[in-house]
Amino acid sequence: MKHKRLRSFFFYIGVAVVLIYFLFPFYWAVVSSIRPASELFSAHQSLIPLKAQFKSYIEVFTQRPFARNILNSTIVAGSATLLCLIIGSLTGYAIARLKFKGKMLVMLFILSVSMFPQVSILGALFQILRSVKLINTYPGLIIPYIALTIPLTVWTLQNFFRDMPKELEEAAYIDGSGKFSTFFRIVLPLSIPGLVATGLLTFIFSWNEFLFALTFEQLPNMYTVPVAIAMFTGYYVVPWGQIMAASVIVTVPLVALVLIFQNKIISGMTAGSVKG
Amino acid sequence: MRSRTTDPLHRTDPIYAAIFVIPTLAVIAFIAFWPLGQTFYNSLFKFALMYPQNKIFVGLSNYGRLLQDSRFLNDLWNTIRFSIWSVGLETLLGMFVALMLNRKFKLRGLVRAAVLIPWAIPTVVSSQMWRWMYNDNYGIVNNILLSLHIVKNPVVWLAFPSTSMPAIISVDIWKTTPFMILLILAGLQMIPGELYEAARIDGANAWQRFWSITFPLIRPTLGIALIFRTLDAMRVFDIVYVMTKGAANTETISVYNQWTLFTKGFIAPYFGYGSSMSVMIFLIISIFAFFYVKTMKIKLD
């Protein structure tokens, strides 16, 4: 009995270590964002801030176009997610349910993109987007993001559609409903859980993407959040308080998403990798 | 029994399939395959991004130069070093935490959610958070090490090759171990509990149970996780760009490539050269992916 207790004691110590390891950097960012500069730029900082102030948060919005950056990211990630889900669900449905030749080839073509190193198309994509005047525009980022996220979307959704019972669709066809209306009226409403799971992953990916955003949006007003945060500089010192405040601002909604949709995100992440 | 071709439910399938599939194929062709072809085309010329009219055809000579570019070879080695350490350690750590989370205990849901947070926040943000913690004057890492008397003077983590690469690897491990944990955990949860009971009755200890049941059964999941993560690690850009911009011998091939294309090759005639580097990176990663998939014997459906 004693032995068992000791083991569970060590087990919970292990749990605590894991929790601290994964959460501490975020805690430290929060603490640093509310510390007065005098405390922040000292060699010995207390684990809990002695004084709290929100100056850094105000500065982020008054000294920088950070509100605009958040808007940019929201528009880009939101549109990319929505469009990717529309296009991807149609393709996923075709692969799961329709009979056509060359299905394997289509799937291979789509999945091969997920192995593409982004940097190897960076230069040419810049030229192409510039030639159609899409540099420093929202579509200039939305369209590439759709291409980057569509392999995973198609893959996960076709798995999802395959697992759905066929009877409802077949009944609809027999009642004379066409492919389009069956898809939009019957299939899509039933696949909302799958759409939410993949949509969350697409959104998080687009919200976080850095290399394309850095290259295709070159005006501070068009920066997305990650680019803006990477570019934070001050006249004399690195504005750490502001960097931490901005980091906290964009992390909080993601933490909320993670807490609310934990199971959905995990099922989206692991779909396809486990079942194969 | 009707044959498939006359099945009225599927008669119009090819037409609809075309309509349903073409938008996806078009986006992929336009955004991925066309630029890839164009990158190869660019790699045959010497020119600057801003002066495409002054293009000089140089054949494959950019590739010859690339193979003699000691900076590229050094960065390739950095990338490999980074990938091996990062993926190796996060697999071990991921396995450990996944086995822990596979038990039923209080707070399990909380731990699972907490683990997702580093994965969900932008890499740029996590890099900044860690850059601050590694700050030589005000960072908490030095603060702790100094007060425990482990070091005498503050360590300038991101300025020296011996410490900067480990620092960068530590950020990647923190950021991506969650992915490993959750994939391995999903694999673990598909193992039927009876297997363990049977092994326990046979007198197998925990270590034997792990190597004879757990490990063989999660091998496919582990294989896929390793492929995803290694391909990701080989492409690393964000962490290095934010933490050191490639200084202190931390430059990876993606960072060098982006710099060659858009800083050096913007007005100087190095855009074609940068494109040859892009093609090379594509080839390296493709060959690597191919062999990885082969040796892991994974069926991608």
pLDDT per residue as tens digits for the range B154-178 = 999 999 999 999 999 999 999 999 9
Q: Does A177 touch chain B (CB under 8 A)?
A: no
SS (HEC) of B203-248: CCCHHHHHHHHHHHHHHHHHHHHHHHHHHHHHCCCHHHHHHCCCCC
Q: Does A249 touch chain B (CB under 8 A)?
A: no
What pLDDT score does B3 carry? 46
Which of B7, B9, B89, B116 is best to mutate for the A interface (most A CBs within 10 A)?
Answer: B116
What pLDDT score does B267 carry? 93
Q: In whole angstroms, give the CA distance from residue A72 to residue A139.
A: 11
Angle at B239 between CA B237 and CA B242, to 5 degrees: 100
What pLDDT score does A1 carry? 61
How many contacts does A have with B, using Cβ atoms within 8 A? 296
What pLDDT score does A268 carry? 76
Q: In whole angstroms, give the CA distance from residue A185 to residue A126.
A: 39
| Alpha-carbon distance B7 to nearest alpha carbon in chain A (angstroms) | 11
Q: How far is CA A172 from the centre of its chain?
A: 35
Residue B48 DSSP label:
E
**Helix, coil or strand: residue A259:** helix
Q: Does A99 touch chain B (CB under 8 A)?
A: yes
What pLDDT score does B200 carry? 85
Q: Is A220 left (phi over 0), alpha (psi -120 to 50) or beta?
A: alpha
- Tell me the CA end-to-end span of chain B in Å, nearest whole number: 29
Please, where in chain A does CATH 1.10.3720.10 lie?
64-270
Taking an 8 Å cut-off on Cβ atoms, the answer to whether B137 and A43 are in contact is yes
The tens digit of pLDDT for each residue in A9-28 reads 889 999 999 999 999 999 99
Domain A64-270 has CATH 1.10.287.470: no
Domains defined along chain B, listed by start:
1-32 (no CATH), 61-296 (1.10.3720.10)
Taking an 8 Å cut-off on Cβ atoms, the answer to whether A28 and B140 are in contact is yes
Q: Parallel, antiparallel, or unpaired: how do β-strands B45-48 and B51-57 relate?
A: antiparallel
Q: In whole angstroms, give the CA distance from residue B150 to residue B137.
A: 16
Model confidence at A165, in pLDDT bands (50, 70, 90)?
confident
- Whether the CB-CB separation of B98 and A248 falls below 8 Å is answered with no
Model confidence at A272, in pLDDT bands (50, 70, 90)?
low
Model confidence at B212, in pLDDT bands (50, 70, 90)?
confident
pTM of the model: 0.91
Query: A-chain residues within 8 Å CB-CB of B125?
Result: 226, 229, 247, 250-251
Q: How many CB atoms lie within 10 A of CB A166?
A: 11
Among the residue ranges A79-88, A250-259, B1-10, the one predicted with the least confidence is: B1-10
The tens digit of pLDDT for each residue in A44-72 reads 888 888 888 999 999 999 999 999 999 99
What pLDDT score does A136 carry? 97
Taking an 8 Å cut-off on Cβ atoms, the answer to whether B187 and A274 are in contact is yes
What pLDDT score does B298 carry? 53
Nearest by CB to A120, from B12, B23, B281: name it: B281
Nearest by CB to A240, from B117, B132, B143: name it: B132
Q: Does B66 touch chain A (CB under 8 A)?
A: no
pLDDT above 80 (res B1): no
The tens digit of pLDDT for each residue in B169-204 reads 999 999 999 999 999 998 898 888 888 888 888 888
Taking an 8 Å cut-off on Cβ atoms, the answer to whether A14 and B100 are in contact is yes
Percent of chain B scoring above 90 in pLDDT: 64
pLDDT above 50 (res A276): no
Taking an 8 Å cut-off on Cβ atoms, the answer to whether B278 and A273 are in contact is no
Q: In whole angstroms, give the CA distance from residue B66 to residue B256.
A: 12
What does pLDDT average to over chain B? 90
pLDDT above 60 (res B4): no
Query: What is the secondary structure of B71-132 as a DSSP string?
Result: HHHHHHHHHHHHHHHHHHHHHHHHHHHHHHHTS--TTHHHHHHHHHHHHHS-HHHHHHHHHH
pLDDT above 90 (res A147): yes
What pLDDT score does A271 carry? 67
pLDDT above 60 (res B301): no
| Alpha-carbon distance A243 to nearest alpha carbon in chain B (angstroms) | 8
Q: Does B228 touch chain A (CB under 8 A)?
A: yes
Q: In whole angstroms, give the CA distance from residue B229 to residue A269.
A: 13
Query: A-chain residues within 8 Å CB-CB of B19?
Result: 90
pLDDT above 50 (res B226): yes
What residue type is A201 in one-letter code?
L
pLDDT above 50 (res B2): no
Instruction: Work out the average pLDDT over B30-57.
Output: 95
pLDDT above 80 (res B296): no
Which of A39, A69, A120 is best to mutate for the B interface (most B CBs within 10 A)?
Answer: A120
Model confidence at A238, in pLDDT bands (50, 70, 90)?
confident
Query: A-chain residues within 8 Å CB-CB of B27?
Result: 87, 143, 146-147, 150
Q: In whole angstroms, give the CA distance from residue A5 to residue A28.
A: 33
Q: Does B105 touch chain A (CB under 8 A)?
A: yes
Which of B129, B235, B277 is best to mutate for the A interface (most A CBs within 10 A)?
Answer: B129
Taking an 8 Å cut-off on Cβ atoms, the answer to whether B105 and A15 are in contact is yes
Nearest by CB to A45, from B110, B122, B143: name it: B143
| Alpha-carbon distance B82 to nearest alpha carbon in chain A (angstroms) | 16
Percent of chain A scoring above 70 in pLDDT: 96
The tens digit of pLDDT for each residue in A186-211 reads 888 989 988 998 999 999 999 999 99
ipTM here:
0.91
What pLDDT score does B6 carry? 54
Instruction: Work out the average pLDDT over B65-84.
Output: 96
Taking an 8 Å cut-off on Cβ atoms, the answer to whether A128 and B122 are in contact is no
Taking an 8 Å cut-off on Cβ atoms, the answer to whether A210 and B124 are in contact is yes
Q: In whole angstroms, give the CA distance from residue A107 to residue A91.
A: 10
